[in-house]
Amino acid sequence: MQLIRSVKKMQNLSLKLKRKGKKIGFVPTMGFLHEGHLSLVERCRKDCDILVVSIFVNPTQFGPREDYKSYPRDLKRDIKLCKKYNVDIIFYPDVKDMYPEGFETYVELEKLPNHLCGLSRPGHFRGVATVVTKLFNIVQPDVAYFGEKDWQQLKIIEKLVRDLNFPIRIKSGKIIRERDGLAMSSRNKYLSEKERKEAICLYKSLLFAKELIEKGERDVSKIKRKMRELILKIAPKAKVDYIEIVDPETLESLSRIKERNLVALAVKIGVARLIDNMLIKVKLTKEI
């Protein structure tokens, strides 16, 4: 396994590998790897000749009052995990190499960021779209893997690839959960023991929404209200950023349940801002 720090070296190596006809698979991460990342790594290993994992805590996707500085980092542990999972190349660039002085080109989508997390994290998806574009140009992957936990990010990357004609196939991986249902996230590290127990409120509220919809509830505001009540019952100090039921592709809010619904939420438990979602499909026969 190689650890490459230089942008130029990484790009040259990728171009060389491509000329040799190798299929490059890419899992972009911000490190502090967990089973969510590793499930993508495993899939990539099966699909591709060369497996590249990037580890880069991208400053441009954090707001000024967000957790860029405190974001969990543990390179030694990540290297060990990558070795265990047969990663070929870890790309671990320096901020100055990715954003040298004078950097001024950003990638921005017009519509998809104006929903869900984009509303409470202005500029976040501009930072994500920019760094992913750069990483794609550097790593030159044939296939890139993203988790469904950040559904909005996944939709934005899919759109970016279509709109800008990247010759890259995007594959998505299901949300990987802890035993009690909490979605795996590097930010779970911020939770105290008590908060960790309360954090289950996100998944419980999604299951509750599913149950209500399956029983025939079609009024989105009622479902959202009941989800909020459940969250605050389990975690009275939680701060609900949003609970939304949206069209899974456009991310536009729904007022009535449709055949395909994405229930998504962001909740702050202590200092940890956690997100989760569930795709709920229904046959629209039983209106109440």
User: Would you call 37 a catalytic residue per the annotation?
Assistant: yes
Residue with Cβ nearer ligand PAF (5 or 194) = 5
Query: Mask 36-75, x = binds ligand PAF (CB under 6 A)?
Result: ----------------------x--x--------------
Q: Verify binding: residue 28, ligand PAF, rule CB under 6 A.
A: yes
- CA 82 to each of CA 5, 19, 28, 70, 90: distance values in angstroms, whole numbers, following the listed order: 16, 25, 13, 23, 8
Determine which one of 34, 37, 115, 124 is catalytic. 37
* Among 40, 89, 128, 274, interactor with ligand PAF by CB under 6 A: 128
Residue with Cβ nearer ligand PAF (38 or 209) = 38
Q: How far is the CB of 63 from ligand PAF (least distance, A)?
A: 14
Q: Residue 171: CB partners within 8 Å, gap ≥ 6?
A: 43, 47, 143, 144, 145, 146
Q: How far is the CB of 28 from ligand PAF (least distance, A)?
A: 4
What radius of gyration, in Å, describes the C-alpha atoms of the chain? Answer: 20
Q: What does the alpha-carbon distance between residue 96 and residue 59 come to, in Å, rounded to a whole number?
A: 11
Q: Verify binding: residue 131, ligand PAF, rule CB under 6 A.
A: yes
Residue whose structure tokens are 């890259």: 168
Q: Residue 194: CB partners within 8 Å, gap ≥ 6?
A: none
Partnered with residue 145 across adjacent β-strands are 171
Q: Verify binding: residue 24, ligand PAF, rule CB under 6 A.
A: no
- CA 136 to each of CA 28, 133, 225, 266, 267: distance values in angstroms, whole numbers, following the listed order: 9, 5, 41, 28, 31
Q: Verify binding: residue 154, ligand PAF, rule CB under 6 A.
A: no
Q: Verify binding: residue 277, ligand PAF, rule CB under 6 A.
A: no
Binding site for ligand PAF (CB under 6 A): 28-30, 58, 61, 128, 131-132, 150, 153
Q: Known catalytic residues?
A: 37
